[in-house]
Amino acid sequence: MLNPSQQIMRLGLGFAVSQALRATIELGIPDLLAAGEQSVDELAAATQSDADSLYRIMRLLAPEGVFREVLPRHFELTEIGAALRSDRPGPRDFVRMINSEAYLAFEQLLHSVRTGKPAFDKVFGSPRFDWLSEHPEQAALFQRAMVALGQGSNEAVAEAYEFKPFTRIVDVGGGHGQLLSAILARNPHLSGVLFDLPSGVAAARQGAGGDLPRTEFIAGDFFESVPSGDVYVIKKVVHDWNDERAAAILRNCSKAMLPNGKVLIAETLVPPGNEPSQIKGIDVVMLAVTGGMERTQGQYASLFDAAGLRLERVIQTRGPISILEASAA
């Protein structure tokens, strides 16, 4: 059992595990081990890397459950490590994305803590999404990471909410359209609007997120206005922004919403107490990278109030994501 000093040292070395994960992904080690165990020398030859150095990072990841050293300098892939294979949907693109430019921004986390402003802007000279718009390769990786993170949650949201009373759904910041596709498939009476920046709309038109029948594709800026509809769904968008900017999005939905309409935010709520929670880590990523935040139920209620809306209820889905339903105040 680790003593307090050793526990702190383990926490402080978390960056080493994170970057070792990224290195093995970039080298394609999980794919090479998919067929069975191999020696480090074989893996190093296949990846044109230094065998001793490769051994050291794989040895680091073995106690974390990613690999298993079955013989000296021979490793096999574990069930956890298999999630990093390129032929399986999963977190590999998230690990690659979070350990590149976002990782560099984290070196200036103290700047965010002192100022309340994203460190990313200081390190890269522009806000995160502006920077991504100028770096298409990293933007594509970001989109793939978001798709991986959304696995299962789109279906969970689509099945957890009753859309029968509505006729026209607007997916605000809908990206590739995976959520809208899932909702329309379950609700043939609905027509849809996929509303996003031009790049997101273009990807959705090409079917990147699935079939989108009965859908109108509209490009625009949700800080300026949103299309008219009677139910708005906003999934994993509000958390990207501070309260002022997030309230502006919701206020535009309130203005454009038809009578008796609803605004649905789909986000993961920050739980109370001291228990470990992945969303608490993502919240600090938002602080440093986008200036956004993950929120508690009470914070979302306040956000709705600021936008002229009223939180009616919170619906827990079968996944780690909740639907917060609001109507006109």
pLDDT, tens digit, 9 for 90 and up, residues 51-96: 999 999 999 999 999 999 999 999 999 999 999 999 986 789 999 9
State the pLDDT at residue 3: 96
- Report the candidate in 235, 187, 238, 243 with the shortest Cα–Cα distance to residue 215: 187
Q: Examine the pLDDT at 196 and tell me if it is beyond 80.
A: yes
Q: Examine the pLDDT at 232 and tell me if it is beyond 80.
A: yes
- CA 18 to CA 61: how far, in whole Å? 9
Q: Say which range, 11-20, 91-100, 139-148, 281-290, has the weakest mean pLDDT.
A: 139-148
The angle at the Cα of 115, spanning 133 to 141, to the nearest 5 degrees, equals: 25
189 is catalytic: no
Region 151-328: CATH code: 3.40.50.150
Topology adopted by domain 4-82? Arc Repressor Mutant, subunit A (1.10.10)
Inter-residue contact 75 to 33 (CB < 8 Å):
yes
Q: How confident is the model at residue 109 (pLDDT cuts 50, 70, 90)?
A: very high
Q: How confident is the model at residue 176 (pLDDT cuts 50, 70, 90)?
A: confident
* Region 103-112 average pLDDT: 97
- Which own/partner pairs from 28-35 qualify as long-range (CB within 8 Å, at least 24 positions apart)? 28/86, 29/54, 29/58, 29/67, 30/77, 30/81, 30/82, 30/84, 30/85, 30/86, 30/92, 31/85, 31/86, 31/87, 33/67, 33/75, 33/76, 33/77, 33/81, 34/77, 34/82, 34/85, 34/87
pLDDT, tens digit, 9 for 90 and up, residues 182-195: 999 999 999 999 99
From the candidates 74, 176, 189, 239, give the one annotated as an active-site residue. Answer: 239
Please enumerate in sequence order all residues whose Cβ is within 8 A of that of 216, keeping only pairs 6 or more positions apart, or say none: 191, 192, 193, 194, 227
- CATH code 1.10.10.10 region(s) in the chain: 4-82
Kindly report the number of other CB atoms within 10 A of residue 27's CB atom.
18
